[in-house]
Structure formats: C-alpha cells, structure tokens
Structure 1
Amino acid sequence: MYCFQNATTKEPLRWYVNFEHPYRRRPGLGIDTMDLALDLVVTPDLMGRYWKDTEEYAQLRRLGVVDDYAGRQIERACGRAIAMLDERTGPFASGWPTWAPDPSWPLPTLPTLPPGADEAATAMTPYRP
C-alpha cells in the first residue's frame, strides 16, 4: 500500500494497493518478491477507485503463474482492501497521508555487500504461509 503525495504540499495524489508476494530474505542480502500484476488505484479523497492490470493478472492465472491457491488468497486480499477502503480503516483511516519523516533524521547508508552477493539466486519456491 502506498500513498503518493505531492512533494511540496504533501497532499495525497493517489492511493495505490500493489498485490504482491511478501518480501522474503534469502542468504546474503538478497530479497525475493513477486508482483502479482493486479493493483487497486484510489483517488485522494477515497471516493473513487479502479482496478489496474486486470488483463495481465488474468494472463498470469491462465498460464498458471498464479495458481488456484494463490488466486484465492489474492481474492481475499482484494476483499480486505475494499473493506478497509469502504470502512475507512487501516491505512485508509484519517491522518496517515500527512505523515512524513522528520527532516533532521539522517539518510540511511548502504551496507557493503558480502562476498557472493552478486551470484545468481536459486529458484524461488512457491509462497506458502
């Protein structure tokens, strides 16, 4: 879930719910995830919404990239996102879009990559919680 904001005014531009597998660490500093194509875009006032990339998601389903098990999980996640939007709960509750980090906070530094971090990753196993 993202709330895109105007960099100057901090006013919300749009809300964006990106359906994807959770991030998973792998050995070294690697992180695996997989975008599931389907996105929900919501207007700044939370009154309008539309689904994005539904055709791409349908193709992933047809090809079996998103199997029936994952498809059911995604359907439930879509329902939870719509319920939170309709009920103005979770990230859609009032106040959150105005949050910004304290300008006095230092910028994070990037770690040095360990030996072998540039090697090819092993195949990702299907996500099963």
Structure 2
Amino acid sequence: MTACPPGAETRWPALYVKARDDGDRSARTKAFDAMATGVWELAAAAWRETEVLLWKPPGAWFSVNAFYTSAGLRNWYVNFEHPTHRTPCGFDTFDLVVDLVVHPDLTGWQWKDEDEYAHVRRLGIITDTEHQAVDIARGQVLAMLAERSGPFADAAAWSAWRWDPAWPAPRLPRPEEAAGRSAPAGG
C-alpha cells in the first residue's frame, strides 16, 4: 500500500510530462517512439489533481488505485505495469500503457488506452512475454472485481479513506543522487 497527494514529487519520461502539461495527446505518440529506442530522459513532475491510494501485491503486473477528489472517491483505476521493485531512490515500475477504469461503486468498467497499447506492442516496447503477463493480469483483475476480492472486498473502507492534510507530500532524492540510471531492460 502507498498513498500520494497532489504535489508529490515524481519522475516520468520527459516527453510524457510534456504531453501531459500541454494537453496534447499526439505528443504521447512521440514519447512512445522515443521510448522505443530504450533510452529516455526522466523529468521531474508533480502528481496533480487527485489523492491516490495504491494497492500492489508483491510481484503483480498491475496496481489497483483509488482516485479521490474533494467530493470523495472519483474512480478505481487499474494500472498494468511491471512488478514494482525498491531502489535507493524509492520504487520503480514500468507502465504497460493499458488501464482499466472502474466506477466507484464497482458497477461498471472500461478499458483505457487500448490503441496506445497496440502501438507500443508494434514498437516492441512491450515484448511478447510482457504481453502474456498483461493478459494474465487482466484475468486476475477481472476475477477480483467479479469476486469482490483484493481491495474490492472492502470497497466501503477504501471509499472513506482520505489523505491527512497534516502529512507532508512525498519528496524524491535530487537528480544527482539518482545519477547513472538508464532505461530498464526489456522496456
């Protein structure tokens, strides 16, 4: 479990940050094209707009995120990603592009970014092995939703959670402390 408020420090691929900040979805394609080279620049960014509570089982190829606004739980968001590993700078994972957006009351859901997922598959950013892991993870998540297991087992408690304003926003080590990093093998 981890949590993140607006203002928390993050690092994302620089072109992705530019696409987000400019609101230009076509810039995401350029970010994926750059990522296909296997080397990219990480840029400092800040988490915005929502509080998030994240549940990630060890070794899982997904995380379940609950996004909150001032009105309460906005939605559940399942992010398909590499298993998380701890580093001297915090936690690393690698987003595998496709996501599942789930209604706050768990009554419906829809896949997100399937077109981009197909694009990064064509570019080779996501290997066949990773694609197989995503397919297995999709089945695991849909089963958790159907069974109301994992974080969905106690959705009411999750809905009531909020970031305590007295807690400081997370900060990352300075870039010089993280020097020498490169893209992870396989994507």
**For the Cα contact (< 8 Å) 2:89–2:172, is it kept in 1?**
no
Task: Give the one of 93, 115, 119 matched to 2:179.
Answer: 119
Cα RMSD for the two superposed structures: 2.6
Unaligned runs of at least 5 residues, structure 2: 1-63
Structure 1: where are the runs of 5+ without partners? none
Task: Say how many residue pairs are matched.
Answer: 122
Name the structure with the higher strand share: 2
Q: Does 1:62 align with 2:62?
A: no
Shift of 1:32: 3.6
Helix, strand or coil at the partner of 1:117: helix
2:162 corresponds, among 78, 85, 100, to 100
When normalised by structure 1's length, the TM-score is 0.76
Which letter does structure 2 place at the counterpart of 1:122?
S
Q: Which runs of 4+ in 1 moved over 6 A?
A: none
Alpha-carbon distance between aligned partners in 2 of 1:84 and 1:62, rounded to the nearest angstrom: 30
Task: Tell me the TM-score normalised to structure 2 length.
Answer: 0.55
For 1:31 and 1:126, locate their aligned partners in 2 and report how far apart those are by CA, in whole Å: 18
CA distance, structure 1, for counterparts of residue 147 and residue 173 of structure 2: 44
* Identity across the alignment (%): 42
Deviation at 1:111, TM superposition (A): 6.7
The within-5 A match list for 1:7-86 is 7=70, 9-10=71-72, 12-26=73-87, 28-29=88-89, 31-86=91-146
Q: Contact 1:30 / 1:117 at 8 angstroms: preserved in 2?
A: no
> Structure 1 68/98 Cα, relative in aligned 2: closer, same or farther at 3 Å?
same
Q: Give the whole-Å Cα distance in 2 for the aligned partners of 1:122 and 1:111.
A: 17
In the TM superposition, what whole-angstrom CA distance separates every residue of 1:68-106 from its partner, at most 9, and x where no partner exists? 111111001011111111111111113222123455x54
Once the 2 structures are TM-superposed, how far is the Cα of residue 18 of structure 1 from its aligned partner?
Answer: 0.8
Relative to total residues, which structure has the larger helix share, 1 or 2? 2
